[in-house]
Structure 1
Amino acid sequence: MTLTHCDDSGAARMVDVSDKPVSQREARARAYVAMSAVTLEAVAENRMKKGDVLATARIAGIQAAKKCSDLIPLCHPLALSKVEINFELQPSSGRIRIESYCKLAGQTGVEMEALTAASVAALTIIDMCKAMDMAMEVTQLCLLEKSGGRRGHYQRGDDD
């Protein structure tokens, strides 16, 4: 197996994508934030002292996708055409499901942008709720689906 992010001497490098064809690329990622029932209810009823948790987490996730190349050293800066962040409150499981979606027409994929968006949205939820619940945790961060590019379509089998 050839490592694409290392040169012949083993030094890290950014992959040259200039010869790759432009194609539509999309990716979806997921994360959960587990929390107490009381905290989840306060989020649902918009009663957190710091403000609207989900609106703020949505903006944070979008910004994170746009800044992915600033955070992950070998990622290419991308001109994203769409970033979407959605939430599902799951009281029976004591958690919030976060799903991110990123899209562009380009020469490299958007998987890392989708993963970064979901993770930063999750961290923002924790930041906004930590005064009420220090035991929250981010769980099950993963890529759900990606399309476009040389490797084509991928879909995770356990997408709930």
Structure 2
Amino acid sequence: MALLEMARGQYKKWLETENLLLLQGWKRDGLTDEQIAHNIGIRRETLYDWIKKYPNISNALKMGKEQANFIIENALFKKAKSGHVTAQIFWLKNNWRDKYNDSQLSVEERELLKHRIKDSELDTKIKEAKLKILQNGDGSAEDHLLELIETIESEDEREHGTE
């Protein structure tokens, strides 16, 4: 039976073992979802619907993608071991990020920057709260503001472990 004739059939055909293996193989070989849908003779959106509705189809595609990732990972690792400098750099940057990253900041500087960003976000929340209270024109604005500020400060204390 020609592939195109099979493709025009129901999704049920694609739940058969040999067709699930075909889907898996296509994904393992690096085909995109659009290419796989084309091979089946359906639209990409239809394939996405099938993936949502039929776990066997979803699992076949996931397994094929995992196999492809393992194949590429193994090839990269072999290249890195054989002295291919680019492969070595790529491997280290992705597998030993604390030591080999492109950031010019030290680990301590990155942590300090994270805390500064968090502090800035909290200051923004406080300013937004003040503005909201002033816009509401509530007679007890000060009470609401103090309550909100205390909530934000408590959140900051929990985040940074300070009191």
Shorter-chain TM-score above 0.5:
no
Q: Tell me the TM-score normalized by structure 1.
A: 0.22
Structure with bigger gyration radius: 2
Structure-2-length-normalised TM-score: 0.22
1 or 2 for the larger relative contact order (CA 8 Å, sep ≥6)?
Answer: 1
More strand by share: 1
